[in-house]
Amino acid sequence: MLYYRGRDDCLPKALTTFYLLRRQGIPVEICFAVKKFPFAAHSWVEAYGEPLDDTPSRLRQYTVIHRVGG
């Protein structure tokens, strides 16, 4: 069964990017983060400490709670 949320969602995008790059041997991390007010969660992929699919100014709003990979 396929997973589809019907909107532009960061989690499927980040998971797909993470999987495909790791499969090619590129050392990437997937980051999971939250912000308090208004509450929001976000995920993105980083390579060599730099975000690949998001802007640093947007990511500064979030506090990373977990990283996978490395």
CB-count exposure of residue 28 (10 Å: 0-12, 13-18, 19+): buried
Q: What is the pLDDT of residue 58?
A: 92
Q: How many whole angstroms separate alpha carbon 24 and alpha carbon 50?
A: 18
Q: How many whole angstroms separate alpha carbon 70 and alpha carbon 68?
A: 7
Per the DSSP assignment, residues forming a β-bridge with 22 are: none
pTM summary value: 0.85
How far apart, in Å, do the first and last CA atoms of the chain sit?
30
Residue 59 has pLDDT above 80, yes or no: yes
Q: What is the pLDDT of residue 9?
A: 87
Q: What is the pLDDT of residue 4?
A: 61
pLDDT tens-place string over residues 1-54: 566 656 678 999 999 999 999 999 999 999 999 999 999 999 999 999 999 989
**Omega within 30 of 0 (cis) for the link into 38:** yes
Segments making up each domain of the chain, as ranges? 10-69
